[in-house]
Structure 1
Amino acid sequence: MKVLVINSGSSSIKYQLFQMPEEQVVCAGLIERIGLETGAIHYHSDNVSIKDEQGVENHRVGLEKVVNLLLDEKNGVIKSTDEIEIVGHRVVHGGRFFKQTTEVSNEVKTAIDQLFSLAPQHNPANLEGIKVAETIFTKAKQVAVFDTAFHQTIPAKAYTYAIPTKFLNNNDIRMYGFHGTSHKYVSEKANEYLGKQNTKLITIHLGNGCSITAVENGKSIDHSLGFGPVTGLVMGTRCGDIDHTLIFYLVNNLGYDIDEVNALLQKESGMLGLTGFSDLRDIEAEAAKGNKTCMLALDINAYRVKKYIGSYIAAMNGVDAIVFTAGIGENSFLIREKVCSNLSFMGIELDTEKNNIRAKSLKEIHTENSKVKVLVIPTNEELEIAKQSFYLI
């Protein structure tokens, strides 16, 4: 069975076509910078790798270009759109409505629409991807996989904010959590590797967006992102944890309006705000040259992760393994080293030589004497979406 996975972002579309249940990638690609004149289309299969730089007007045009590539007489992988039986969609925010993967219906689309205000940069694009796919893949089952679903097992003591309970009861204001598809995937891989399910794990997703999750016996029990995807760790452009009185100070004392503050905290803060760079590779390169601002920013980034590790070990009364994943987590030797330094009291000891070896599959980076395993596990959100969609249908 062919399952097409669509990850429709605000200005991009990631896609992968899988043969299931074999989990074989038939082709994959990316449409980037949608709506800009300088767009690009990427397409990869066993036989060909294509990059075509051209403007892509909107998501509908983008998906139509994906279909044209899939059907191309020379480089395509299908003869008809009817060959695709399931289309799996990443949806960032499921709110309280969705605790698991769900087949798309009019009611589901309405609920996703109602959650626009909770994920304004993501849910509208996710819903647009669903609507466009319905018109193109008319015989396929459309399935929504929610980033928040994995975190629905978090207990009330962890997801409830200490504000008047009417806001939880009447307005569903609570911690929801994100990157759930990634955390679920790598925690399952870690359990497979450890050979047991009754584990205590800390999974650390470090990319442009960052989050950390306490996973006990395969279930999320605490998480760093909250009502929206801004709290917790220091991110590429998002601030992570701050004192909320800063918001009022910016408005009341420095003359910012609330929309400017929102943009400041989401798009101009994090590593970008600290250094002027949002890409960690640039920051590490500058730090290596002696740039003290970048050196400090790396220390701030790692220190925030370290604090969460400590709190989650306390919450679970121990930990079996720590898992690094996503672009930075998988590739930054330096961040992993800084995060794991001076944690020997907790039984965490990093092997520097192992840490500095690049690998595309699961690897251990702890010493032989480390009581806690430290793992690097490449995430694969598209495969996880394909699996959940396939087994649902």
Structure 2
Amino acid sequence: MNRTPGTRVLVLNSGSSSVKYQLLDMAGGTRLASGLVERIGDGPVADHAAALKQVADELAAQGLGLDSPELAAVGHRVVHGGIRFTEPTLITDEVVTAIEELVPLAPLHNPANITGIKVARELRPDLPQVAVFDTAFHSTLPEYAARYAIDTATADEHGVRRYGFHGTSHAYVSRATAELLGKDPSEVNVIVLHLGNGASASAVRGGTCVDTSMGLTPLEGLVMGTRSGDIDPAVIFHLSRVGGLSTDEIDDLLNKRSGLLGLCGDNDMREIGRRMGEGDVTAQLAFDVYVHRLRKYVGAYTAVLGRVDAIAFTAGVGENSAAVREAALRGLTALGVEVDAVRNAVRSPSARLISAAESRVAVAVVPTDEEMEIASQAYALVQA
């Protein structure tokens, strides 16, 4: 591939009704522009083509138009890459077709990602466009960690295995945590806790992911804003046979009406904290269920890794809720984990340690930067 002369990468995250974008300059690692186009198909923004045109207009108004020779590539977030896409991939017609074939594994996300890719390619057919997959960082899971204990032939026929998600965040944060410790990622074992409305954990050994909490879909694992996380599969059969719920109704229940929302009616941790302060026992229970699940995963991944050098909290809740961080790690002194209350209470946009001086395991708060990770991977590919 011929190297492109520019140093800028436009990162696009196309959702079903929105497009988020950031323009980054890789020469200095700086963010030149960012924005969000919402309510696509509902109002003045008719479709994704109109949304991308609006993005182009907003950038042009800042002197950063899509026709700039400084633009080296467009990086696209794609949620599901299956077992085929384990690295950032230059987008071709064949790649688009392959991503379309993965829609059954991510019916809510991949179609929107594909639409964004197609429109961006129409706008700049001459420009390298790169797909960066949420699942890619987790493709290194050992087979024994990726497999579910169901009939192998059935699993293989339908692509049933653990894929994991939030991979760009876990990749960025695990590497940034090593940098915070002044070490090379290959020297550090990290448990990453990505806690937003969606939440996931990963066990990263020497820069390589060896286990993660999300599975075939983003529903498995930690308690989330509206998703149940881990649940006895027989609950689904019970709700169908005894409750008379359809498959679609159960899907909606577990993905959109469960988690914190299902437990207490709120999926905003700030509101839950306010209610707890007023003595709301329902909010307290939701919080306790949430942190109990977190603590279980920290313990499990400590066993998986054997040696843990750091635990890193990231994303909206992980970066901002001192109460969640403290409660999730409370009582883990036997594992060498001790949080410093004063450090934990500090709010800062910078990566920082919140562990006590005597803690054998470093505890860190590391703001994630998925857009920078996507841009870095896309830029590295087009410059290779």
Answer whether TM exceeds 0.5 for this pair.
yes
Preserved CA contact (<8 Å) 1:82 1:140: no
* Corresponding residue number in structure 1 for 2:194: 205
Preserved CA contact (<8 Å) 2:203 2:212: yes
Distance change in 2, residues 1:249/1:168 (3 Å): closer
* Corresponding residue number in structure 2 for 1:22: 28
Q: How many angstroms apart in 2 are the aligned matches of 1:224 and 1:170?
A: 23
* Corresponding residue number in structure 2 for 1:268: 257
SS of residue in 2 equivalent to 1:350 = coil
Name which of 50, 58, 61 aligns with 1:69.
58
Distance change in 2, residues 1:70/1:238 (3 Å): same
Preserved CA contact (<8 Å) 1:89 1:145: yes
Name which of 136, 145, 160 aligns with 1:173.
160
Cα offset for 1:81? 5.3
Q: How many angstroms apart in 1 are the aligned matches of 2:326 and 2:253?
A: 30
Preserved CA contact (<8 Å) 2:180 2:352: no
Cα offset for 1:83? 4.5
Q: How many angstroms apart in 2 are the aligned matches of 1:120 and 1:79?
A: 30
Q: What are the Cα deviations for residues 237-284 of structure 1, in whole angstroms up to 9, with x where unaligned? A: 111001110101111101101110001101111111111112221111
TM-score under structure 2 length normalisation: 0.95
- What's the % identity of the aligned pairs? 47
Preserved CA contact (<8 Å) 1:82 1:137: no
Cα offset for 1:200? 1.2
Q: How many angstroms apart in 2 are the aligned matches of 1:187 and 1:324?
A: 10
Cα offset for 1:85? 2.7
Name which of 214, 220, 242 aligns with 1:231.
220
Gap runs ≥5 in structure 1: 38-54
* Corresponding residue number in structure 1 for 2:86: 99
Q: How many angstroms apart in 1 are the aligned matches of 2:100 and 2:360?
A: 47
4+ runs deviating over 4 angstroms? none
* Corresponding residue number in structure 2 for 1:153: 140
User: Which residue identity is paired with 2:117?
Assistant: I
Name which of 249, 253, 257 aligns with 2:246.
257
Q: How many angstroms apart in 2 are the aligned matches of 1:31 and 1:332?
A: 28
Cα offset for 1:79? 7.5
Alignment of 1:323 with 2:329, yes or no, is: no
Alignment of 1:119 with 2:106, yes or no, is: yes
User: Which residue identity is paired with 1:68?
Assistant: D
* Corresponding residue number in structure 2 for 1:362: 351
Gap runs ≥5 in structure 2: 1-6
Name which of 153, 173, 191 aligns with 1:186.
173
Q: How many angstroms apart in 2 are the aligned matches of 1:107 and 1:81?
A: 27
Preserved CA contact (<8 Å) 1:200 1:217: yes
Q: How many angstroms apart in 1 are the aligned matches of 2:71 and 2:363?
A: 39
Q: What are the Cα deviations for residues 112-171 of structure 1, in whole angstroms up to 9, with x where unaligned? A: 101111111110011101001011123211100000000011001101010011023333
SS of residue in 2 equivalent to 1:389 = helix
SS of residue in 1 equivalent to 2:187 = coil
Q: How many angstroms apart in 1 are the aligned matches of 2:105 and 2:177?
A: 31
Q: How many angstroms apart in 2 are the aligned matches of 1:292 and 1:36?
A: 39
* Corresponding residue number in structure 1 for 2:365: 376
Higher relative contact order (CA 8 A, sep 6+): 2
Q: How many angstroms apart in 1 are the aligned matches of 2:39 and 2:307?
A: 44
Query: What is the aligned-residue RMSD (CA, Å)?
Result: 1.2
Preserved CA contact (<8 Å) 1:236 1:271: yes
Q: How many angstroms apart in 1 are the aligned matches of 2:214 and 2:67?
A: 41
Distance change in 2, residues 1:6/1:68 (3 Å): same
Preserved CA contact (<8 Å) 2:272 2:283: yes
Name which of 35, 39, 43 aligns with 2:41.
35
Q: How many angstroms apart in 2 are the aligned matches of 1:280 and 1:364?
A: 22
* Corresponding residue number in structure 2 for 1:84: 71
Q: What are the Cα deviations for residues 175-223 of structure 1, in whole angstroms up to 9, with x where unaligned? A: 0000000000000111122213222110000001000000001000000
* Corresponding residue number in structure 2 for 1:244: 233
Preserved CA contact (<8 Å) 1:4 1:17: yes
Aligned residue pairs total 374
* Corresponding residue number in structure 1 for 2:10: 4
